[in-house]
Structure 1
Amino acid sequence: MKSQVASGPLAEVRATSGGLGGWEAGEGPALVLLHGFAPGADARSEFAGQVEAFARGRRVLLLDLPGFGASAELPIADDYTGDAVQRLRLTLRSLGVDRADVLGHSLGGWVALRAALDAPDLVDRLVLAAPGTLVVGDDGFRGSEGVRKLAAFLARPTAITMLEWLETQFADAGAITDALVETELARAAQPGAIARLRAVRRSFEAAESDPPLWSQSRRVRQRALLLWGRENADFPLDSILHGARRVPHGDLHVMAGCAQRAHQEDPDRFNQLVGQFLAG
């Protein structure tokens, strides 16, 4: 099946039973894109501004995590990231991919980091875009302005609470158009989307007594690029510096004029940074 989106034709990923669903484009070395934590999120819509650039010489796999998009019907495991990594391995094996570069945003960054630690044979280069897992002394799902605004939307999903949350996601308020608010509301209104997001959040809260991933980041052996928006209101820059500096081969790049969604707010610069890193 083909689907025409802003970035070109995508082919549906039909993984084996229990694997992750999604879409793919291009040919060459595999690059996995894992989406973030938002009601109704999916990789195809989140990375619409990246596919065309990344699919030049690469096989781009836009995979939806359990509870989201094409993987909405997969169960939400107590160990969410561990389960997602196993499903990622199963998916790549079914697609004939032995090893891939992995880019994860927000929640996808948690899964990408866990994959680098638990399945080092699977991950070549690692790109982490604003993953809360590097926040030291916090489970990454509470405390910040962005997290509070999202919680307010989940408790009372209206256009106003959606707008207030989106204002924490972008540094430039001009990027938040009426069309964007309507699109995000429509995704959140998909049957079960908010309930599944809450279930994912509960799985992390239940596991918060486990050793946090940031404390294990010294074991990452892959080359890594960490991308952060300087105006990030979900996970402020100063709260992740200690966790980020523990990644042995990780370069941190701070994008001025961007917040949590730097890949959407400044896609050209984001794509250039990631492209240079993967080609290096």
Structure 2
Amino acid sequence: MKIVLQLVAAVVVLLVLALAVLVTLNWAPPRSVESLTERWAPEPSKFIEISGMQVHVRDEGRRDDPVPLVLLHGTSASLHTWEGVVEALKPQRRVISLDLPGFGLTGPFPDGNYRMSHYVEFLSTLLDRLDVERAVLIGNSFGGQLAWEMALDQPKRVERLVLIDAAGYPRQSTSVPIGFKLAGVPGLAPLMTNILPRRLVESSTRSVYGDPDEVTPELVDRYYELTLREGNREALRERFKQVPALDNTARIALIQTPTLIIWGGRDGLIPPLNARRFQSDIAGSELVMFEDLGHVPQEEAPLRVAEAIRAFLLQP
């Protein structure tokens, strides 16, 4: 009996030591925005104060463009996801990208409200600050939902829509980033506030690419470090609670704004079936399907996505 107890005690000690090593290796407490700014907010980045937040914005391209392009990223992303698209489009157009509240360097809403109506109000305020009366909204994933919600709530401000693997219907996902799954488990909140395995971020990023081998260490660095920005992990959990994936078919069918739908044929998070639902529900909309790409086509193949956008904008 004594030997058995000794063995049990030894196993417990080993498990505790293993857990301690695991925590130590993956210890990642929140980082201040100041510690991240030098690397992730070089020129032409700037910060605009809105509702107690310092919103990270880049405003590039032609200053005489009467209808700028406004680029809205998806969950756990940042304005950096659009860099290749911006480079391709800014010689002809004014292009505005930003870190939405709860993500990137902008960080959380001070009031903790992550409902879509609050995001629409925020976006309207930002456009006012930038003297943009009317814009083309281009959104990926969650940013796509914000774009079409804005087009419905303030149609006079939205000239055209580009929805890239946009949210709006139940997802029927075949591949969900593990980080999203963990963010939806309330009991893990205290742990995840200070622990973030870099391999988890790498796995999540690879899962949204059509070709996972295109995910570089530098790309993982960006997603990892910006997730560590103080308040972002808590904001992600709150947004998942406050903005569930509902069936918005009836609402989407009300959209009258000219719309281009761009999708990755290998998107396992929001499958191509949803692209066809958007096309069916939005009268007169067009669909461009890139069969080899995943959930973030603008990141995987920015020149191809930019060309599709450019062709759409040239239409009368």
TM normalised by structure 1 equals 0.84
Is the partner of 1:278 in helix, strand or coil? helix
Aligned to 1:260: 295
Alignment map for 1:168-207 (pairs within 5 Å): 168-205=207-244
Instruction: Note closer, same or farther for the CA distance 1:10–1:249 as it changes in structure 2 (3 Å cut).
Output: farther
Residue identity opposite 1:109 in structure 2 = G
Worse-superposed segment, 250-259 or 8-17: 8-17
Alpha-carbon offset, residue 152 of structure 1? 4.2
The total of aligned residue pairs comes to 263
2:276 paired with 1:241? yes
Partner of 2:313: 278
> C-alpha distance in 1, partners of 2:56/2:155?
22
**Superposition pairs for residues 18-57 of structure 1, below 5 Å?**
21-26=56-61, 27=63, 28=65, 29-38=67-76, 41-43=77-79, 45-57=80-92
| AA of the residue aligned to 2:131 | G
Residues 145, 234 of structure 1: 8 Å contact kept:
yes
1:77 to 103, 113, 129: 113
Query: Does the 8 Å CA contact 2:45/2:56 hold for their aligned counterparts?
Result: no
In structure 1, the residue matched to 2:178 is 149
Q: Give the Cα–Cα distance (whole angstroms) in 2 for the partners of residues 234 and 113 of structure 1.
A: 19
Match of 2:34 in 1: none
Higher-Rg structure is: 2
Residues 184, 165 of structure 1: alpha-carbon distance in 2 compared, 3 angstrom cutoff? same
SS in 2 for 1:24: strand
CA distance in 1, matches of 2:71, 2:174: 26
Give the structure 2 partner of residue 126 of structure 1: 161
What amino acid sits opposite 2:222 in the alignment?
T
Following superposition, the deviation at residue 217 of structure 1 comes to 1.6
Give the stretch that moved more between structures: 181-190 or 28-37.
181-190
Gaps of 5+ in 2: 1-36
1:14 aligned residue (22, 26, 48): 48
Taking structure 2 as the reference length, what is the TM-score of the superposition? Answer: 0.75
Whether the 8 Å CA contact 1:50–1:271 is kept in 2: the answer is yes
Gaps of 5+ in 1: none
Distance in structure 1 (CA, Å) of the matches to 2:92 and 2:48: 22
Question: Is the Cα contact below 8 Å between 1:35 and 1:64 reproduced in 2?
Answer: yes
**Structure 1 residues 15 and 213 mapped into 2: Cα distance closer, same or farther (>3 Å)?**
farther
CA 1:236 to 1:59, structure 2 compared with 1: closer, same or farther past 3 Å?
same
Relative to structure 1, is the Cα distance of residues 153 and 16 closer, same or farther in structure 2, using a 3 angstrom cutoff?
closer
Query: Displacement of 1:5 after TM fit?
Result: 9.2
Q: CA deviation at 1:130?
A: 0.5
**Distance between the aligned counterparts of 2:182 and 2:214, measured in 1?**
19
Distance 1:106 1:30 in 2: 20
Runs of 4+ in 1 over 3 A off after TM superposition: 3-6, 15-21, 152-157
Conservation of the 8 A alpha-carbon contact between 1:15 and 1:91: no
Matched, 1:221 2:260: no
Residue 262 of structure 2 contacts residue 287 of structure 2 at CA under 8 Å; is this kept in 1?
A: yes
| AA at the equivalent of 2:124 | R
Q: CA 1:249–1:4 in 2, change beyond 3 Å: closer, same or farther?
A: farther
Q: Which residue of 2 aligns with 1:86?
A: 121
Q: How far is the alpha carbon of 1:240 from its aligned partner?
A: 4.1
How high is the sequence identity, in percent, across the aligned residues?
Answer: 25
Moved more, 185-194 or 12-21: 12-21
